Structure 1
Amino acid sequence: MELIISLIAGALGGNVAGGLAKSINQGALVNSIAGIVGGGLGGTILGALGMGDVAGGGLDLAGILGQVVGGGAGGGALLAIVGLVRNAIAK
C-alpha cells in the first residue's frame, strides 16, 4: 500500500512540477511516467537512507504524509532531470 501511495504522489508531483516550471514540462503523459518512476525511487531512497519511518511508516497519518511528500518530491525531481536532459539534447 505504501508503494501505491508513493507512485500516485509521484505522478501528481511530476504533473505539478511540469505545470509550475514550463521549461521542464514534457506533456501530461511523460510528466506522469517520470513522476511515477520518481515517486517509487523517492520512497525507496528514503527507506535506504534510514528514513523508513517517514517513507514507509505504515498507514497512520504521519506515514501517509511522509509517503506523499517523498513520492511527490521524487516525481518532481525526476521530471526536472528528464526535462533538463531532453532540453539539452534538443539544442
Structure 2
Amino acid sequence: MKTKLEELLRFPCSFTYKVIGIARPELIDQLVKVIQLKIPGDYIPQIKSSNKGTYISVSITVFAKNFEQIESLYYDISKINMVRMVL
C-alpha cells in the first residue's frame, strides 16, 4: 500500500530534508557524508541556529530517483547520533 507522500511525488524529483540536531559543526559534515553515499552530488545545506544556540536546523535538498532513496535516507539520517528529528 502506497503512503500519501509516495502518492504525491513524481520521480525523479527534488526533495528537501529538514534535520534538527545538536549545534556542532560535525553534524553538518556527517549529514552531507550520509547523503552523498546514497545520492552523490554537491550539497549546500541551509543552517539556522536555535535562540539559545543549543540546536540547529539543517535543510538540505536532494534529487531523488525513487521513493526508496527518500525512505532509506530518512532511516540513515535518523541514525546520526547528534540528530534529534528528521522532517
Interval of TM-score (by shorter of Structure 1 and Structure 2): 0.3 to 0.5
TM-score, normalising length from structure 2? 0.33
Query: Which structure is higher in strand share?
Result: 2
Query: Taking structure 1 as the reference length, what is the TM-score of the superposition?
Result: 0.32
